[in-house]
Structure formats: C-alpha cells, structure tokens
Amino acid sequence: MLDLDNDYIDYIDNEDNIMRDNINNDDQNEDSMDSDDQNANEIPSEHSEVSINRPTVTTQASPNVFPFMRLPAEVREHVYEWALGSPIHIVHINETSTVSDISGRRQAAVWCWGEVSTDIHRLSTASRRRNMASRTINPALLRSCRLVYCEGLRFLYMQRFHFLNAQAMQTFLLTLHHNTVTKLRHVELYRRTPARAEDPMVLSALASLTRAVNLQVVRVHGLWFYGQQGRGFRYDLGPVPANGMMGPSAWDILVGRNLARAAYRQMYPFLQCFLRSQNRGANLLQELLNGVFIFEDIIRDGPRVYGNEIQLGMAVVHSPNLVVAGAFWTDARRAATRQAMAMEILRCVRLDS
C-alpha cells in the first residue's frame, strides 16, 4: 500500500463532505417545491384568510420642506394670488418694461399704489417710478413643479394690466405664448396724444388682443373723437323725430352712434373677435356694455356747449336747437349714450360678418 500524505487525506475528506451537503440541500429544495405545488393546488376555504405581503415604500420629507400640495385647492389659490399678484391687482407696463436694462435684469412690471388717473403722468419717467412704493414679484414659485405652474400661472395674468402706450402693449403681447395670452382678463390702454399718426399703432396694438379670447374688460383711455372719418359729425345717423324737433334723448342716440363709428374704425379687429368669441353669452349687447369701455371721458363729462356749438372730444358740431344745447347732462343721458354706442357697434360687427 502507498502511504498518502496527511494533508492530501484531509483534502479528500473535505471534498466528500461538501458533496454530501450539496446532495442534502437539493433534496430539501425538491421537497419544499413539492409542498408549494400542493399548497398552490389547494382551493382556500370560504373562511380562510389569504394575506399578500406587498413591499412598502416609505418616503420621509425633509423637516424644512412644507407640504404645500397637501393644502386644499382653495388655500393654494389664495397663496398664488398673494405671491403672484399685486395688493390692488394693477400692473403698469410701459415701453421700457419689456426690454432688459444694462444690469441684465428684466423689469416686467411696476406696481402702483394709487389711482391710475392721477398717477399716470408720474409714471412716465423711470426716476419718478423708482421713488414710488413698488413691489417686485418673484415668479420662481411657478418653477417648483409642473402642477404648481399649471395652477398658479393664471393668477399672474388675471390681474388688471395697464399699458401706458400702444407700443408697450403690442410689444408685451408679442412676447407672450398664445396659450398665455388667453389667460388675460383685464386690459387697459392709455393714449396720451391726439396725433392721428398714432392711430395705426393703436389699431395694431388692439388687433394683438384678438388672441385674448377670454378677456372680460377692455378700457381704452384717451381715444380721441374727431368726427366720422374726417367728414365731420354725421347727423343722418340719428333717429328722425316725429314732430321734426330733436330732443335730448334723440340727440344722445345720435352722439352714441357717431362715437360707435369712430371707435369701430380704430378697434374693429378686436371688437369683431371680442363679440364672436365662443365664450360670450347670448346677450352680446350686455357683454359689450360690461366689457368694453370707450370714450369714457366724453360720456362722463358730457358735451361742452359754446353758444350754438357743442364740443365732443376734438369735434365741434352744431346744436340742432336751444333745447338740446341747454339740457343738463345726467346719469340717464350717460346710460342712453352708452347704450346707443354699444348697439351701433354690435350692428357694425354683424354687418361685417
């Protein structure tokens, strides 16, 4: 017999033990698989309980992060309104607000803390604007996630936008996406000069509003009345009195129709789109009265009488008689003039349809 080394003998014994352990493990696995198959074929009884263990994922928010999306939708809307809006909901934009300055920052809006009619001239220069109380918005909130962006974007554009001139309005609207323009609700345009050369710019700026299909209020300040297309005041637009004597009520209708013709000439693209919008109700006349405000200074202040002549804006017309010239300007006459103007605008839109 050969004498084997002790280390070699130990090595052989270890290999045998490993092989036996593997065989035993395979037998146990086969037994467990058979038992699982038997259990799977068994139909659970009516009162048996079947439990399914599902993996649970637990996420722990940082203690410094506020769970904003867990707030009710109404509370989140108030947060958007406060964070993205002005306390008085008025945004003044001039021609310098739509371009970047030398520091690289873009001034998107100037928040005014006063009446527009009294502060409009003080906002004409940047140095005077900086002296006024202002508040700069921070739209970074909208970049937190897509849901916040979709919920809060409309609050940024639902405010009252006041454009100091037609150039600022047109430049601002051209920089917006067409879906963003549809979120505008209230727009006011100021025209500070009576020059006829500004008419094409005003017409182009108002035509840019045709994309804002959800507009509710549009005001045009300083829209000058010269008479119908430079031919003077149209007396044939008024109703013919039965007795041949025109009274104040018939005169108010005549004035309203002339104002409507002048407004339609400068605003016809917007007025057509405004009244043809699918969001309008059946009563287009009421929509026009509540949503479009033109020649408010003439209607508010009334005509100026100089003897036998009446001044309406930049137009001076002859009074039909002393009764019309001497009649007082009342709230009822203001309402009648606005009603006649709205009806004439609606008629012009339907004629062009």
**DSSP codes joined into one string, 64-84:** TS--GGGS-HHHHHHHHHHHH
Asked if residue 46 has pLDDT above 50, the reply is no
Per the CB < 8 A criterion, the answer to whether 125 and 92 are in contact is: no
If one counts the domains in the chain, the total is: 1
> Smallest Cα–Cα separation from 158: which of 204, 214, 106?
214
Q: Count other Cβ atoms within 10 Å, centred on residue 177.
A: 9
Q: What phi and psi values does residue 10 have, to the nearest 5 degrees?
A: -60, -35
Residues 6+ apart with CB under 8 A from 289: 338, 339, 342
Could you give the 3-state DSSP secondary structure of residue 33?
helix
The yes-or-no verdict on residue 36 having pLDDT over 90 is: no
Residue 179 lies in a domain: yes
Does 126 fall in a domain? yes
> Which pLDDT band holds residue 328 (cuts at 50, 70, 90)?
very high
Of 111-120, 160-169, 227-236, 237-246, which has the strongest mean pLDDT?
160-169
Is residue 193 situated within a structural domain? yes
Q: What is the pLDDT of residues 79-133, one digit of tens each?
A: 887 777 765 566 777 765 544 443 434 444 444 433 444 444 444 455 444 444 4
CA distance 180 to 185: 11
Each residue's pLDDT tens digit, 268-307: 888 888 887 756 666 888 888 888 888 888 898 888 898 8
**Mean pLDDT highest for which of 6-15, 111-120, 230-239?**
230-239
Tell me the residue range of the domain where 122 lies.
Answer: 69-222
Q: Which residues contact 339 (CB under 8 A, 6 or more apart)?
A: 256, 289
- Mean pLDDT in the chain? 73
Q: What percent of the chain has pLDDT over 90?
A: 10
pLDDT band at residue 18 under the 50/70/90 scheme = low
Tokens of 2: 């050969």
**For position 90, what pLDDT does the model report?**
67
- Tell me whether residue 159 is in a domain: yes
Write down the pLDDT at residue 198: 65
- Indicate whether 128 belongs to any domain: yes
Q: How many Cα atoms sit within 13 Å of 7 on the Cβ side? A: 0
Instruction: Please tell me the predicted confidence (pLDDT) of residue 51.
Output: 46
Local confidence band at 338 (pLDDT 50, 70, 90 cut-offs) = very high
pTM above 0.85, yes or no: no
Average pLDDT over residues 42-52: 46
For residue 339, what pLDDT is reported?
A: 94
Q: In what order do the strands lie in the sheet with 315-318?
A: 304-306, 309-312, 315-318
- Residue 76 phi/psi, 5° resolution? -65, -35
Residue type at position 274: F
pLDDT tens for each residue of 137-159: 667 788 888 888 888 888 888 88
261 within some domain: no
Predicted pLDDT of residue 114: 39
Looking at the domain assignment, is residue 57 inside a domain?
no
Whether residue 143 lies inside any domain: the answer is yes
Has residue 135 got a pLDDT over 90?
Answer: no
Number of residues written out for the chain: 353
Pair of tokens at residue 53 = 């263990």
